[in-house]
Amino acid sequence: MAWYRNHYECYRCSEAWEDEWSCACDDECPACGARHASPVDSEDLTFIVVDEGHYFAVLKSPDEAEHYPDYREVIRFLSRGLAEAYIRAEPAEAFV
């Protein structure tokens, strides 16, 4: 399952907020309580690169993740650029 950072803007009070979830789902405005606000934008965070000091780890949120990303290491690289290139090289379905 993918992991997303969803960006919202309330249709009632114009409050802006973000929330992370396993889908691009509607949310409730934290300021006024308006319901069913749809994301205005979403970032796919299924894969992320983490600087571990002496290497860069590519982490993936597994298919069974629902309420938390539960990231797991896929592979390590000596540079951030190589790690990011690895993520861009193949569709997400091709990875662990």
What pTM does this model have? Answer: 0.78
The mean pLDDT of the chain is 91
Round to whole Å and give the CA distance between 39 and 20: 11
Q: Are residues 54 and 88 in the same domain?
A: yes
Q: Which of 27, 43, 59 is the last residue of a domain?
A: 43
Q: Are residues 70 and 81 in the same domain?
A: yes
- The residue among 59 and 1 whose pLDDT is bigger is 59
Q: Which two tokens stand for residue 86?
A: 């690895």
Round to whole Å and give the CA distance between 3 and 28: 19
pLDDT digits (tens, 9 = 90+) for 26-56: 999 999 999 999 999 999 999 999 999 999 9
Determine the pLDDT at residue 7: 97
By CB neighbour count within 10 A (0-12 exposed, 13-18 middle, 19+ buried), where does 51 fall? exposed
Question: In sequence order, what are the residues at sequence separation of 6 or more whose Cβ sits closer than 8 angstroms to the Cβ of residue 48?
Answer: 58, 59, 71
* Count of positions (residues) in the chain: 96
Q: Which two tokens stand for residue 78?
A: 């000596």
Q: Are residues 55 and 67 in the same domain?
A: yes
Determine the pLDDT at residue 65: 84
pLDDT at residue 94 tops 90 = no
